[in-house]
Amino acid sequence: MPEIWLGYGSTDVVLDIKQENLLHCYPELNLLSDENIKEILTDIKFSTKTLIFPFSTSKSILKIIAFLIEINKTDKTKEIEIGTFSEYFLQIKNHFADNIRIFQMDKKDFYENIKKFDNVIFISKIGYEPLFGFSGTPSMLTRNCMNGLMDEIFHSTEIISPNSGQIGDPLKIALEFYDKLGLYSIEVLSNQYGISRLYCGFNSSFIISSVSDFKSNTKFNFNEQKSLIISAGAEPENHTTLNNSLYSLWNSIGILKNQGMAVLLAENNHGIGDGALTLYIEGKLNPSQIKKINYVNGLEHLIYLENLRNEYYLGLVSSLPFHYTKTKLGFNTFNNVKEVLQNMLTRYGKSNKIMICPDPSITFLIKQ
């Protein structure tokens, strides 16, 4: 019986499953050596005063930052600073030496702050995302710094179900904004074992070619499935809140048959997370208001839940109280992954194949 290890917060949980029940889906990526990575990064030009701005604290992005600093440390004419948002600040601060300035940047004053630098280098993880289709610098900038643009995206486009892996209106709007900035970004394709690709550039054409290559290397064609077990991924930051973790569920849900079951494993040790889910649980937001209010973080989760809960059995293994996840949000809740497996085999038969998706942010499941 094979053992499948799945990310669950800062640790892993094991799924003991018979080979005849297993359908394991994980992209096999060729990894770059450190020498390859440094060679690519050497071509990036630094100005007198350069800001490095990461949108994640993943191991791969911390490595990229360290290499950029190492490559340029001998040039005393260049001043490098690291700016980031509050949610990433402490981990980045603790990772690097005190001889480089690391500071928090207020999202409201973001554009005024970056104007102080001759050069800005954004660093993001490329991946799948249900609202924009793909995650990366354009979507992260829009989500975090452009409330007005998020309102436009949310109210001018028809949002019914997840749109992972597609270039739709939300991403097109974000790319128009990204083109106006004209700033450089590094999009990192990585998994828990290392870095596979670095996409580097500064306009929408580069982003479109990057996501095209990314998709071609991470897509899988399958028949519709009855059962799906999903981990929120190998990066602990994807497990911190339910708001962060649900993107993994929506990235994968399209492979399910009607009345199929998808269960998400996500520790959520920091709770539900700020935004729409908390407002809904507290009774301050109801479904009829969703399309009438300005965008708040995670508002799309409520739309997907409302539209998909009757089509699929949606389940959750987390540390959150069942009162929130089951009673308030309507998830099927489980204590552990063994309980999930038993439920699926009882529901769909002992010979049923169960698809396992360890990292939905870099896995695109397509129905044949």
Does 40 lie in the same domain as 14? no
Write down the H helix ranges in the chain.
Answer: 34-42, 59-72, 86-95, 110-114, 137-145, 147-156, 169-181, 204-218, 242-252, 276-281, 299-308, 322, 337-348
Angstrom distance (rounded) from CA 27 to CA 216: 11
The pLDDT value given to residue 234: 85
As beta bridge partners, residue 194 has 191
Output the pTM of the full model.
0.93
Does 295 lie in the same domain as 168? no
Mean pLDDT confidence for 170-193: 93
Tokens 């769909």 identify what position? 348
Instruction: From 311, 325, 331, 336, select the one nearest 256 (Cα to Cα).
Output: 311
pLDDT surpasses 70 at 88: yes
Task: Tally the domains of the chain.
Answer: 2
Strands 194-201 and 184-191: antiparallel
The pLDDT value given to residue 304: 95
* CATH label of the domain that carries residue 250: 3.90.226.30
Instruction: From 27, 24, 35, select the one nearest 70 (Cα to Cα).
Output: 35
26, 259, 244, 214: CA torsion to nearest 10: 40
The DSSP code for 85 is -
Which of 185, 215, 245 is the last residue before a domain boundary? 215
Structural domain boundaries, residue 120: 34-215
pLDDT surpasses 90 at 140: yes
Which of 196, 215, 234 is the last residue before a domain boundary? 215
Tell me the CA distances in angstroms from 338 to 1, 85, 140, 229, one per residue in order: 14, 38, 35, 11
Does 263 lie in the same domain as 354? yes
**pLDDT tens-digit map of 163-177:** 999 999 999 999 999
Q: What percentage of the chain has pLDDT greater than the value 70?
A: 100
Does 238 lie in the same domain as 322? yes
Does 160 lie in the same domain as 101? yes
Does 265 lie in the same domain as 161? no
Does 356 lie in the same domain as 291? yes
Does 283 lie in the same domain as 314? yes
Which of 197, 215, 233 is the last residue before a domain boundary? 215
pLDDT surpasses 80 at 156: no
What string of DSSP letters covers 250-319?
HHHGGGEEEEEEEEEE---TT-S-SSHHHHHHTTS--GGGGGGSPP-TTHHHHHHHHHHTTTSEEEEESS
Does 196 lie in the same domain as 57? yes
- 327 with 333: CB under 8 angstroms? no
As beta bridge partners, residue 29 has none
* CATH label of the domain that carries residue 111: 3.40.50.11440
Considering the chain, what is the average pLDDT of its residues? 92
Angstrom distance (rounded) from CA 162 to CA 131: 6
Mean pLDDT confidence for 272-276: 94
**pLDDT tens-digit map of 303-358:** 999 999 999 999 999 999 999 999 999 999 999 999 999 999 999 999 999 999 99
Does 324 lie in the same domain as 277? yes
Mean pLDDT confidence for 150-164: 87
Does 120 lie in the same domain as 166? yes
Does 186 lie in the same domain as 263? no
Angstrom distance (rounded) from CA 214 to CA 155: 29
The pLDDT value given to residue 1: 63
